[in-house]
Amino acid sequence: MQTQFNTIVIIGKFMRESAVQLMRKDLVDLAQHLQAKSIQVLFESRTAEHAQINDFKTVSLDDIDQRADLVIVMGGDGTMLSAARALKKSSVPLVGINRGHFGFLTDLRAEEMLQSVDAILTGEHQTEARMMLNASVIRGGKTILQDHAFNDIVLKSGLRLIELEVTIDGKFIHKQRADGLIVSTPTGTTAYALSAGGPILHPGLDAIALVPICPHTLSNRPLTVNSHVKIEIAVVQVDHAAISFDGQSQLDLALGDCVRVERALESVTLLHPREYCYYEMLRNKLNWG
């Protein structure tokens, strides 16, 4: 079987040692299956450590982009988000095997993973580029944090409401009192933004969704804007609040902080099975009739 992928890196749910140990057999079966096809197989180092896999070479997340032609992620959407953020400066494509709850980003079923991977290796796949967000937190005129998100950037209060002032391309939009605000990519609109009442955006759209979390004013509704705008969110009243990136990194916010959000230069490349259909995925995951 000919394939364009000579070196494949496997990433498991390395954030939780107990979870990745449960999928150890599937990880090893996949690696041995690929190795039998004369493909060099590397494990992400923490995956190998937590799953106690010692028969394969390892590579750190920071070095994957220099070693891999393809990354296979076994886990849930959180694992895929971690991999995408870690590899944001890389063009290495990602394939997801679902061992989580929802699997919006992990297409392949664990029960059929070997057959599905074989099809992808022979070119039977769809390639999709998805946008990311880049955000900077400005405090006292200095940038104190800059990070990326594949799903969303969330500003969220603690016990009390937070008041935020939102401008887009320098134009004042509104002040809002709410539990927070979600700034979401199209990918992220099936995550926290969906739970907060936001719209579902097709991942092919060049758009960003701004979704308030429990706004004090009922007329404050979700807003969708072109992805090429520059969004600024100023913290004008706060007791305790934080900003998070894909729910995986976080910083406490202070009065007067300004968060600047824009589309990132980087994107994430996903490989889907040839028969993949976004609308069918929504129908199955959201239990539509």
Q: What percent of the chain has pLDDT over 70?
A: 99
Residues 113 and 26: beta-carbon distance below 8 Å: yes
- What is the model's pLDDT at position 28? 94
Q: Residue 9 forms beta bridges with which residues? A: 42, 71
User: Pick the catalytic residue: 29, 62, 77, 179?
Assistant: 77
Flag whether pLDDT at 15 surpasses 80.
no
Q: What is the pLDDT of residues 65-80, one digit of tens each?
A: 889 999 999 999 999 9
Q: What is the pLDDT of residues 209-227, one digit of tens each?
A: 999 999 998 889 999 999 9
206 classed as catalytic: no
CATH 2.60.200.30 location in the chain: 132-265
- What is the model's pLDDT at position 19? 76
Distances (CA, A) of 141 to 144, 168, 233, 257, 265: 9, 19, 14, 9, 24
Q: What is the pLDDT of residues 80-121, one digit of tens each?
A: 999 999 898 888 999 999 987 788 999 999 999 999 999 999
CATH 3.40.50.10330 location in the chain: 7-123
- Using pLDDT thresholds of 50, 70 and 90, give the confidence band for residue 3: low
Q: What is the pLDDT of residues 30-48, one digit of tens each?
A: 999 999 999 999 999 999 9
How many whole angstroms separate alpha carbon 278 and alpha carbon 217? 34
- Using pLDDT thresholds of 50, 70 and 90, give the confidence band for residue 165: very high
CATH superfamily, domain at 132-265: Probable inorganic polyphosphate/atp-NAD kinase; domain 2 (2.60.200.30)
How many whole angstroms separate alpha carbon 250 and alpha carbon 243? 6
Has domain 7-123 been given CATH number 3.40.50.360?
no
